[in-house]
Amino acid sequence: MRRPKKERQKLLIETIEENPFVTDEELAERFSVSVQTIRLDRMELSIPELRERIKNVAEKHVDDEVKSLPIDEVIGEVIDIQLDQTAISIFDVKQEHVFKRNSIARGHHLFAQANSLAVAVIDDELALTMKVKVHFTRPVKLGDRVVAKAKVEKTTRPDRTTVGVLSYVGQEIVFKGEFEMYRSSQ
């Protein structure tokens, strides 16, 4: 359903504030307008393009320094991390991540993104994955942007922490994981 311009722009602002990683294509589909219309609306409202929004979020939120592994070893781009609390990374699915015959992402790439984020969020020099429960909820395809969100759920012993990870394409969950992590201390 097409909305009047003012209403669409108000909803556009709200949508981008809620999810700064939403693409122009997803917005166009959501509001039943062309991608060009979304771009014009963004320009008129002084809303930066996706890459700039991601950089802005990253600059604001990557305050803590990852201790458990070098940041460049995390699969995907970490854009937000608060040690022992939450972390977010983005992974763009490219040709080298998919099966050639159907352009569906290989599961180990989604797992690697989630697992490395679960390790990175631990505020300790040593963090190792002990046990994992995973569920892939739908296939991820070439060109999809996967946003993984890790949350420290509980610490059962001084050396055990459970981290939940949900990965999304757009607003849809594509991966769920519960990672039991070993840490050297608390």
pLDDT by residue (tens digit) across 100-121?
Answer: 999 999 999 999 999 999 999 9
Write out the two tokens for 113: 């993104």
For residue 109, give the 3-state DSSP assignment. Answer: helix
The pair phi, psi for residue 72, each rounded to 5°, is -75, -5
What is the pTM for the complete model shown?
0.69
Domains (ranges, CATH) in the chain?
5-57 (1.10.10.10), 62-183 (3.10.129.10)
Q: How far apart are the C-alpha atoms of 186 and 169, rounded to whole Å?
A: 33
Write out the two tokens for 148: 């993984």
Angle at 124 between CA 120 and CA 129, to 5 degrees: 55
The pair phi, psi for residue 158, each rounded to 5°, is -60, -25
pLDDT by residue (tens digit) across 46-97?
Answer: 888 877 777 666 555 554 566 666 666 788 888 888 889 999 999 999 999 9
Of 105, 103, 67, residue with least CA distance to 87? 67
Q: How far apart are the C-alpha atoms of 108 and 96, rounded to whole Å?
A: 12
